[in-house]
Structure 1
Amino acid sequence: MFNWNRNHGKIMLLLIYKISYEGGGNNMSWQDTFKKWTSFAGLDEDLLNQLNERAKNEKDLEDSFYKDLEFGTGGMRGMLGPGTNRLNIYTIRKAVEGLANYISKHVDNSYDKGVVIAYDSRYMSQTFAVEAARVLGAHGIKAYVFESIRPTPLLSFAVRHLKTAAGIMITASHNPPEYNGFKIYNEDGGQVPLREAAAIIEEVNKIEDELNVSVKSQDEIEREGLLEWVGGENVDQAYLQQLKTIRKQDKDNTVKIVFTPLHGTSYDLIMRGLAQSGFENIYVVEEQANLDPEFSTVSSPNPEEHQAFEMAIKKGLEKDADILIGSDPDGDRLGVAVKNKEGSYQVLTGNQLGSLLLDYTLSQQAPSALENGQVIKTIVTTEMGRAIASHYGVNTMDTLTGFKFIGEKIKEFESNEKHFLFGYEESYGYLIGDFVRDKDAVQAALAACEAANYWKAQGKSLLEALDTLYEQHGYYLEGMESLTLKGKDGAEQIETIMADIRKQPFEQLGELDVIAVEDYHSSERILAKENKQEAIDLPKENVMKFLLENDAWVCFRPSGTEPKIKSYFGVKTKSATDSKLLLEKIQTEVEKRMNNIINA
């Protein structure tokens, strides 16, 4: 039967294409892709309706079709909607098709091992999980799909526990509600490292038509045993048993805790993890415990941003809580706020919390456990961690930004005498037990509450414990500025900024001389005074870092998953006041330079 509404929408879109295409733009490729979609007979009804709604906005259409979504440091992430540059059932299918082709070639017994799939509370998450299973089913690869939402670290654990060939996590972490994402994990349970990612991307790029990827129906793969719904209790309980291994203290837990999962996935595991460790005084922000893909109680569901703690702070004041903990929607990042001497709550930075957790973790280890132990951090994470680890006689290793690189190092330790003790990054990601190979808010929540309880027993808050670390190691202070530049024009501006910084590198910042320039794209370190070059033994990435006098540094990095360029800063002086003044001075100079580049 002729569907008037559906076909009327298609006719309108094709007329718009004809006007736009024949009107004579310089770059016609996005129009060709747009026409392919609007001409596709089986196009999903919802996506067709969305295209019809957006038809009058040519710039939005161009941004939706001018390129394919790309894999970055955390996988594929983008705005929901129709188009090759949006996340939808077709771009998901294309990505899974590439993964299926990759594991069929490179993972032994991949058909028998299968792929485990988890998802968060965002729009379309469960739908995308089922679409992934349908593509895998067309290849004869079994999919294990969780019946309900699960946090990212549990997916990492499930890959190892179920011994699958790979894992898929449907999440956009802490991005706004209009986003979702797709993360791939290898059979070690870590995010795929660069070499594997490159091979998967190569397989994805071989797929010329995302609209015609073969799928089987859900009924068919269930009937053929190619889709198994995972109830989760078996996996959950196995994870909770492993969580017991990171406990450092069995003392009475008198600390009062306020917890918010920010409408995300971690509520159940964090509550059960704390309960099995003897924590009883836990107060939940109930308004943020319900699943809400709009994240309606916060402007951003990101524990890195202080506004996310507003309701937790209110609850903390009511209950006289010692510590407030908040996890992001997919449960891999944790933020913490602590009561100060004035009786209000101060949100710790990711670097501050990481330093406290690191010091606590190492201080509770037997000397023999520290031998050949390794701390792993990223190149944009505080240098205070290196000082703390050195104090305990432990080596610190640097990786590129992204927890995939930390997971990759942990895997390497299995074949040498080194062993993992602690891993973290400045963006609120922490790992203590290597039974997970990604950052883990559940582990971090347990460790943070245990550390707070430990220091409370000694008459100190976590803030006072942090002051002790500053007195011991120096006043380290860090900052980060994120510049969002959306769309095609924004991507070009980001490229311009990085090219300009490479062409005319800083020689001085904050009246401190640059002593070395590290270009991770060319894997070269240039020592300024010696005029000498050294090789950087890390994978290539579009990152520039400037090492300054007095242990200060600045780093520039385009995000791999968001339309942003990030500037990271680190300083060290003898006092909080001096560090704040120096940090502000350096940040101001960098901001002026970037504005000049954009406005040139």
Structure 2
Amino acid sequence: MSWQDTLKKWTSFATLDEKLLDQLKKVADNEKELEDSFYKNLSFGTGGMRGILGPGTNRMNIYTVRKAVEGLSIYIEENVAHAKERGVAIAYDSRYMSKEFAVEAAKVFGAHGIRSYVFESLRPTPLLSFAVRYLHAATGIMITASHNPPEYNGFKVYNEDGGQVPLKEAAAIIDRVNQIDNELEIVVKEQIELENSGLLEWIGEKVDRAYLHALKTIQKQDNNDNDLTIVFTPLHGTAHDLVMQGLEQVGFDKVHVVREQAKPDPEFSTVSSPNPEEHQAFEMAIDLGREVNADILIGTDPDADRLGIAVKNDNGDYQVLTGNQLGTLLLDYTLSCLDEQERKNGQLIKTIVTTEMGRAVASYYGVHTIDTLTGFKFIGEKIKQFETSDERFLFGYEESYGYLIGSFVRDKDAVQAAIAACEMANSWKKQGKTLLQALNTLYAKHGYYLEGMKSLTLKGKDGAEQIEKIMENIRENPFTTLGGLRVQAVEDYQSSLRKRLVEDLTEDILLPKENVMKFILEDEAWVCFRPSGTEPKIKSYFGVKTTSAEASERLLRTIQKEVEQRINQIVNENMLI
């Protein structure tokens, strides 16, 4: 069916949602917008389903949500034991339509006789992961678009272990979804009917209390005697209550919240992007930090699975740490608090685009490192595997500000990370050091690792094609040198092959197939290219290691510039075709 036929199907549907119909009427003369809205179906990617809000099969709306949940319902009925009795956990964040989508999901599940446990108000993503395990649910849904712009929403699907569905499960769910012919005619039950029959149960405080109790298990030291001053911003999202309660229960009481960013706001009106990866998100926290002379600033993204922090540098100014830097500090602190027996058979799990400094720190403590593909669901998958082996999960992280300490959650958890970061800052403060000084201590011990990431957004159908062309070009014409360093190995995760150029050897990559290319250079440098599975982006990741901060910065800039020039050349050539 052409996009025009699909559009006609929607506009002629007698009971089409009035708001969506009005939106279609407003863009009736914008053929490019209509094509982009209907030329394909919004599908699951590396983080679930995510898209721009609005009418169309390529947009987030009640009908695309219903279709996805219908497919998920069929999948769990076929593959998860006692799915109807165990039910589904559903949570949502502060975005437009989040609660509405949560209820729509429950209405589809209810039509299948599957009970839904829906939080009565917004909650963080890690709490949804915890709730799936705590309630022994068959699956879970988190309605969120994480830190994307306000016009986006989406949802992440979780399996019965509380982790995001891995590739095999996701493929099976997608297959069920794709078998559904008409998203407009999916059967749903009304909310009041579900509530009266017990197929929709509103939950909240009981799960919160259980999570906070579990949170105590990651505490490493007694923090009651502390002089740490903290500034916290939830960036208009879901983290406020649990972070504040978590800090209080482990002994931190000098916590100042950025008032303007404390309340949920789907517009994220005080920031250009509600992403702790972006330094502008900390501007208000920095102002408050200066006012109260804070030791640490902590910020969570809207669904509270990512944490960013800022600490004072030698000039007294606040410096935002990268995800790699904070992750490495948390890793070192966590392992330093364990004795040799507790570290026995211990495992660090990180992604292929996360700093290699983590491997060096883990090795120092006698802990093994496991690499996974990008996406925390792969880390959650590994933790599950440890349940049937003698391996022990000690820490997991990725460069994009995601961390996990306690495995009672199977996704990245900014609440855990916030508590641990403050405890770590307090410990270093007692030793007379800021976290930045602590980081420099680690650099002196392990080497000056430095990483970077460049993201190119190319929206619409044309943008998706451009991203495919970039990956094709890099795959067919691989780099041989970058920054004056020779390429020693090329890893193609789509073919699952690693070519070691120096030894002239080819090896299998024992990870799932994914459209990713990684180049291993001399002197422990590397570059990796990865299209996003949920956004119209291609990301380029970089890592270097030298003997000084200045040398690492110079080398990183050089490599980034060469890669940027190559990508721009590819884009420009394809625009002329």
Equivalent of residue 593 in structure 1, options 547, 560, 566: 566
Partner residue of 1:61? 34
Equivalent of residue 357 in structure 1, options 323, 330, 338: 330
Farther-moved stretch of structure 1 (399-408 vs 53-62) = 53-62
Partner residue of 1:532? 505
Q: Please tell me the residue identity of whatever aligns with 2:541.
A: Y
Q: CA deviation at 1:385?
A: 0.1
Equivalent of residue 241 in structure 1, options 204, 213, 216: 213
Partner residue of 2:46? 73
Q: CA deviation at 1:68?
A: 0.5
Q: 2:374, 2:84 → 1: CA distance?
A: 33
Q: 2:525, 2:313 → 1: CA distance?
A: 28
Q: CA deviation at 1:531?
A: 1.8
Q: Please tell me the residue identity of whatever aligns with 2:354.
A: T
Query: Does structure 1 residue 368 correspond to structure 2 residue 341?
Result: yes
Equivalent of residue 186 in structure 2, options 213, 217, 226: 213
Q: Please tell me the residue identity of whatever aligns with 1:237.
A: R
Equivalent of residue 338 in structure 1, options 305, 308, 311: 311
1:367-409, Cα deviation, whole Å (9 max, x unpaired): 1010001000000000000000000000000000000000000
Structure 1 stretches of at least 4 aligned residues deviating more than 2 Å after TM superposition = none
Equivalent residues in 2 for 1:128-527 (5 A)?
Answer: 128-230=101-203, 232-251=204-223, 252-527=225-500
Equivalent residues in 2 for 1:14-29 (5 A)?
Answer: 29=2
Farther-moved stretch of structure 1 (459-468 vs 217-226) = 217-226
- Where 1:71 maps in the other structure, the secondary structure is coil
- Where 2:420 maps in the other structure, the secondary structure is helix
- Where 1:516 maps in the other structure, the secondary structure is strand
Q: CA deviation at 1:426?
A: 0.2
Q: Please tell me the residue identity of whatever aligns with 1:325.
A: I
Q: 2:155, 2:350 → 1: CA distance?
A: 24
CA contact (8 A) 1:117 1:129 kept: yes
CA contact (8 A) 1:510 1:586 kept: yes
Equivalent of residue 89 in structure 1, options 59, 62, 68: 62
Q: Please tell me the residue identity of whatever aligns with 1:327.
A: T
- Where 2:419 maps in the other structure, the secondary structure is helix
Partner residue of 1:548? 521
Q: CA deviation at 1:348?
A: 0.1
1:29-74, Cα deviation, whole Å (9 max, x unpaired): 1101101101101100000000001112110000000001111110
- Where 2:232 maps in the other structure, the secondary structure is strand
Q: CA deviation at 1:216?
A: 0.6
Q: Please tell me the residue identity of whatever aligns with 1:565.
A: I
Equivalent of residue 114 in structure 1, options 79, 87, 90: 87
Query: Does structure 1 residue 564 correspond to structure 2 residue 537?
Result: yes
Q: 1:499, 1:145 → 2: CA distance?
A: 43
- Where 1:72 maps in the other structure, the secondary structure is coil
- Where 1:555 maps in the other structure, the secondary structure is strand
How many equivalent residue pairs? 572
- Where 2:109 maps in the other structure, the secondary structure is helix
1:203-222, Cα deviation, whole Å (9 max, x unpaired): 00000100001101111111
Q: 2:503, 2:426 → 1: CA distance?
A: 49
CA contact (8 A) 1:253 1:280 kept: no
- Where 1:68 maps in the other structure, the secondary structure is coil
1:391-449, Cα deviation, whole Å (9 max, x unpaired): 00000000000000000000000000001000000000000000000000000000100
Q: Please tell me the residue identity of whatever aligns with 1:267.
A: H
Q: Please tell me the residue identity of whatever aligns with 2:10.
A: W
Query: Does structure 1 residue 127 correspond to structure 2 residue 100?
Result: yes
Q: 2:300, 2:96 → 1: CA distance?
A: 19
Q: 2:305, 2:120 → 1: CA distance?
A: 20
Q: 2:99, 2:135 → 1: CA distance?
A: 20
1:173-214, Cα deviation, whole Å (9 max, x unpaired): 000000001110000000000000000000000001000011
Q: 1:179, 1:502 → 2: CA distance?
A: 31
1:231-285, Cα deviation, whole Å (9 max, x unpaired): x111000000000000001042211100000000000000000000000110000
Q: Please tell me the residue identity of whatever aligns with 2:173.
A: I
Farther-moved stretch of structure 1 (555-564 vs 221-230) = 221-230
- Where 2:286 maps in the other structure, the secondary structure is helix
Q: Please tell me the residue identity of whatever aligns with 1:298.
A: V
TM-score (norm 2): 0.99
CA contact (8 A) 1:80 1:88 kept: yes
Q: Please tell me the residue identity of whatever aligns with 2:373.
A: L
Q: 1:566, 1:443 → 2: CA distance?
A: 27
- Where 1:90 maps in the other structure, the secondary structure is helix
Q: Please tell me the residue identity of whatever aligns with 1:542.
A: N
Q: 1:48, 1:213 → 2: CA distance?
A: 18
Q: 2:250, 2:125 → 1: CA distance?
A: 22
Q: 2:537, 2:523 → 1: CA distance?
A: 29
Q: 1:242, 1:129 → 2: CA distance?
A: 26
Q: 2:226, 2:14 → 1: CA distance?
A: 62
1:296-319, Cα deviation, whole Å (9 max, x unpaired): 000000000000000000000000
TM-score (norm 1): 0.95
Q: 1:327, 1:57 → 2: CA distance?
A: 37
Q: 2:29, 2:345 → 1: CA distance?
A: 62
1:506-563, Cα deviation, whole Å (9 max, x unpaired): 0000000000000000000001122210000000000000000000000000001110
Considering only aligned residues, what root-mean-square deviation do their CA atoms show, in Å?
Answer: 0.6
Q: 1:521, 1:488 → 2: CA distance?
A: 22
- Where 2:157 maps in the other structure, the secondary structure is strand
Q: Please tell me the residue identity of whatever aligns with 2:549.
A: A
Q: Please tell me the residue identity of whatever aligns with 1:151.
A: P
Q: Please tell me the residue identity of whatever aligns with 1:238.
A: A
- Where 2:8 maps in the other structure, the secondary structure is helix
